[in-house]
Amino acid sequence: MKNLIIALSLFFALGANAQAKKAKATAAPAKAIPATVAPKLTGEAAAKKNIQDLAAFVTLTPEKQASLTELFVTKQRMMTEAGASAERKEVVSEIIGRKLEATLDGETFAKVKANTTLYQSLIRQ
């Protein structure tokens, strides 16, 4: 019985040691960001920028700002998911455009859509 306990403890100790070495080997070293390249915005920061751009163009109620912030955070998360293909990004952009149309009233949405640079920045990444 004593030998069985010793054998099991050695088995688990070696297994834990192998897992620790495997985790160290797969961790990639951090790369330095060149000074000339600006860091990308995080999902929430990009969503806040979208809201600020939209609020500068049209007036938004606090309720609409809250719902649009949630929409833009979701957009950023879906666009930056690992393995997101160009086709998936197009579908997400289409969905965001429809939800934006549903959230804003008709006159406001027509005004936003007429400003193509703003509209594209809102529905794209």
Q: What is the mean pLDDT of residues 31-59?
A: 72
More confident: 22 or 2: 2
Measure the CA angle with vertex 43, ends 114 and 84; round to 5°. 85
Name which of 1-10, 46-55, 82-91 the model is least confident about: 1-10
Give the pLDDT score at 38.
Answer: 44
Give the pLDDT score at 25.
Answer: 52
Q: What is the mean pLDDT of residues 23-37?
A: 50
Give the pLDDT score at 40.
Answer: 57
Give the pLDDT score at 14.
Answer: 64
pLDDT digits (tens, 9 = 90+) for 8-22: 676 767 676 666 555
Residues whose CB falls within 8 Å of the CB of residue 53, separated by 6 or more in sequence, listed in order: 118, 121, 122
Give the pLDDT score at 98.
Answer: 92
Q: How far is CA 27 from the centre of its chain?
A: 22
pTM above 0.95, yes or no: no
More confident: 14 or 80: 80
